[in-house]
């Protein structure tokens, strides 16, 4: 049964290119597994050992998860270069066009706040946010979607039961609980080894129709992902930054090479519309104009009330409730987005 063979091979947690080479050598996944089981293949003993485990036992361990094999993978992913053969998934696949938000793990406070706002904006316009649930920009973007009541997909470089960094476990579980999912090419229990992250990045790029780079250094995983996305023909957006700031160098390079510069959240949203099509029904109605106005730079309550054109009492009460949840800071008659919890 070919499903069983897929499951056995997937649990070997091999690098994707290695898997592809084996398949090219032997013909298909079933044949690869047969060769390994009969001891004729040259794979290492540890890999052979995991392939020898019965598929039924693996299934039992995967009770709360789904495994998707190649023909069932999302079209965007399957149509691209080097698609994965399988994906482990926990949670539901959200409806809506996927948009990746990626960036540095060591982002500035500004980068974090912007990533969060972009996450919120995408959620509010009915997009699905794809990111890596890493430190920094990834987590901030995911936090943004969750806060705005949207759904996201977190693509991990480890097994989907291995949270890395560990602090993001709560956020990941929250994403699953709010209708999003966590996916990985690697089987449960896989440790977050450095070489696995570029593999993960190609899935992020492949899965998304648009990639937004918030902050990226000249040599960074985010920049590599963006380049991969460009090669796959995805539209890449980059947030411009100070030319002297290392964390923005990558974004500025992308813009030089033709990425769409993000000069305002609204403009970005409109541009994404032109790529993935107009915003769909439900989520658009849920859009709160408040979040388009509150940012990192303090805006006076007075200006906010005027811009929203709603009764001041209502706006103030709403803001204050957001403040109680730490989402915004009201100070000196101004309001701005709350600080994200410092990322270790």
Partner 1 sequence: MFASVMSAALVGVEPQPVRVEAHIGRPKETFSLVGLPDTSVRESKDRVRAALASSSFPFPNRRVTVNLAPADLPKGGSAFDLAIAMGVLAAAGSIPAAATRVVAVGELALDGSVRAVPGGLAAAVVAARAGVPCVVPAAAAAEARLVRDADVRPVRNLSEAVVAALGPPAAALDHPFSPTRPAPLADLADVQDQMLARRALEIAAAGGHHLLMIGPPGCGKTMLARRLPGILPPLDGDEVVEVATAWSAADRVWEGGSARPFRAPHHSASVASVLGGGSGRIVPGEVTLASGGVLFLDELAEFPPHLLDSLRQPLEDGEVRLARRGWSVVFPAAAQLVAAANPCPCGHLGDRVVSCTCTEGGTARYRRRMSGPLLDRFDLRVVVGRPHSLQGPPGESSASVRERVVRVRGFAGDRGAVNARLTGRTIDELGVEPEAAAMLAAALASGRITGRGFDRVRRVARTIADLDGAASIGEAHVAEGLALRSGP
Which residues are near partner 1 by CB under 8 A? 298, 300-303, 305-306, 311-314, 316-321, 323-324, 330-334
How many of the other CB atoms lie within 10 Å of CB of 46? Answer: 10
Tokens for 209, please give them: 């129709």
Q: Min. distance of Cβ 271 from partner 1 in angstroms? A: 27
Q: Min. distance of Cβ 264 from partner 1 in angstroms? A: 18
Which C-beta is closer to partner 1: that of 317 or that of 341?
317
Which C-beta is closer to partner 1: that of 25 or that of 320?
320
Tokens for 54, please give them: 């019965």
Task: State the pairing for strand pair 128-131/98-102.
Answer: parallel
Cβ contacts of 164 within 8 Å, gap of 6 or more? 134, 156, 157, 158, 192
Q: Min. distance of Cβ 303 from partner 1 in angstroms? A: 6
Q: Min. distance of Cβ 326 from partner 1 in angstroms? A: 9
Q: Min. distance of Cβ 245 from partner 1 in angstroms? A: 23
Q: Min. distance of Cβ 121 from partner 1 in angstroms? A: 24
- The candidate with the shortest Cα–Cα distance to 152, out of 116, 186, 190, 188, is 116
Which C-beta is closer to partner 1: that of 28 or that of 314?
314
Q: Min. distance of Cβ 308 from partner 1 in angstroms? A: 9
Which C-beta is closer to partner 1: that of 102 or that of 304?
304
- The candidate with the shortest Cα–Cα distance to 177, out of 189, 185, 169, 187, is 169
Which C-beta is closer to partner 1: that of 282 or that of 312?
312
Q: What is the DSSP letter of 190?
A: -
Which C-beta is closer to partner 1: that of 277 or that of 311?
311
Whole-Å CA distances, 172 to 91, 145, 162, 247, 261: 10, 12, 11, 25, 29
Helix (H, G, I), strand (E, B) or coil at 187: coil
Tokens for 173, please give them: 């579980």
* Cβ-contact 145, 214 below 8 angstroms: no
Tokens for 14, please give them: 């091999």
Which C-beta is closer to partner 1: that of 194 or that of 324?
324
């Amino acid at each position: 049964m070919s499903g069983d063979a897929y499951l056995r091979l997937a649990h070997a947690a091999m690098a994707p290119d290695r898997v592809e080479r084996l398949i090219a050598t032997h013909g298909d996944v079933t044949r690869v597994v047969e060769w390994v089981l009969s001891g004729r293949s040259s794979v290492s003993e540890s890999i052979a050992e995991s392939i020898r485990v019965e598929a039924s036992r693996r299934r039992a361990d995967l009770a709360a998860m789904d495994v998707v094999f190649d023909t069932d993978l999302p079209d965007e992913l399957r149509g691209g270069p080097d698609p994965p053969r399988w994906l482990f998934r926990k949670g539901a696949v959200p409806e809506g066009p996927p948009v990746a938000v990626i960036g540095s793990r060591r982002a500035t406070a500004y980068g974090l706040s912007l990533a969060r706002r972009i996450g919120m904006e995408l959620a509010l316009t009915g997009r699905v946010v794809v990111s890596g649930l890493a430190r920094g920009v990834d987590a901030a973007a995911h936090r943004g979607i969750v806060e705005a009541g949207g759904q996201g997909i977190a693509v991990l470089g480890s097994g989907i039961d291995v949270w890395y960094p560990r602090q993001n476990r709560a956020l990941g579980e929250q994403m699953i609980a709010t209708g999003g999912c966590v996916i990985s090419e690697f089987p449960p229990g896989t440790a977050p080894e450095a070489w696995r992250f570029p593999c993960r990045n190609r899935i992020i790029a492949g899965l998304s129709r648009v990639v937004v780079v918030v902050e990226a250094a000249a040599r960074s995983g985010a920049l590599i992902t963006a380049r991969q996305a460009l090669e796959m023909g995805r539209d890449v957006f980059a947030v411009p930054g100070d030319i002297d700031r290392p964390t923005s160098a990558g974004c500025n390079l992308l813009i030089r090479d033709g990425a769409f510069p993000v000069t305002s959240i609204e403009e970005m949203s409109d541009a994404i519309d032109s790529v993935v099509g107009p915003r769909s029904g439900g989520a658009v109605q849920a859009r709160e104009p408040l979040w388009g106005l509150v940012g990192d730079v303090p805006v006076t309550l007075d200006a906010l009330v005027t811009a929203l054109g709603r009764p001041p009492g209502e706006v103030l009460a709403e803001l204050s409730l957001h403040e109680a949840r730490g989402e915004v800071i009201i100070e000196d008659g101004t309001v701005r987005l709350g600080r994200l919890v410092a990322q270790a």
